[in-house]
Amino acid sequence: MSPDKPKEGRTVAESATEMTQLVLPQHANVHGTLLGGTVMHWVDLAAAIVANRHSRRPVVTAAFDEMSFLAPIQVGQVALIHARLTFVDRSSMEIRVDVVSEDVLTGERRRTGTAYVTFVALDPVTRRPSPVPPLVLETDEDRAEHVKALERRRLRLERRKLNAKD
């Protein structure tokens, strides 16, 4: 594979992913609400699908930014996991993942958390980071997310440098 970045871009919409999960007792903590670790597992999976769809390469999670849990999701409710790209560099991709609860009886929806996850695409043979297609920003929302992602990336890479010194 050429070391050059692929020239043909892909839009945010082309890789955007929505996962729907019914919250069952085996997903719950001792309070009868969805376990934080399970939420993070689903967030990771949805983000991986986005990264795979954009790059069409094997991908790995490189960084998981902090995630706040704004409200619990009860057993019997539905968790909707919306994931979409905000930023793409040479081999890395930042994905925003929003978690929303849905009460199946009333239809009421509530955002319960948001996470930013960075994935890196790998060359299938060498397993080294591999270039990904550019991200085509179509909407005002895509462009606004992209600007904020640049600052998050700067902070993340600074943290990476600091942690490397430990």
Ligand X SMILES: CC(C)(COP(=O)(O)OP(=O)(O)OC[C@H]1O[C@@H](n2cnc3c(N)ncnc32)[C@H](O)[C@@H]1OP(=O)(O)O)[C@@H](O)C(=O)NCCC(=O)NCCS
Least Å distance, CB 105 to ligand X, is 37
Size of site (CB under 6 A) for ligand X: 14
Does 154 interact with ligand X (rule: CB under 6 A)? Answer: no
Closest by Cα among 12, 142, 119 to 64:
119
Does 118 interact with ligand X (rule: CB under 6 A)? Answer: yes
Q: Are 62 and 101 in contact (CB under 8 A)?
A: no
- Among 17, 21, 91, 101, contact with ligand X (rule: CB under 6 A): 91
Least Å distance, CB 30 to ligand X, is 28
Q: How far is CA 68 from CA 41, 65, 71, 113, 123, in A?
A: 14, 10, 9, 6, 33
* Residues in 53-82 at the binding interface with ligand X, rule: CB under 6 A: 60-63
Which residues on adjacent β-strands are paired with residue 116?
96
Nearer to ligand X, 140 or 151 (CB): 151
Nearer to ligand X, 61 or 74 (CB): 61
Q: Are 52 and 119 in contact (CB under 8 A)?
A: no
Closest by Cα among 16, 30, 33 to 83:
16
List of residues contacting ligand X (CB under 6 A): 60-63, 89-92, 118, 120, 129, 156-157, 160
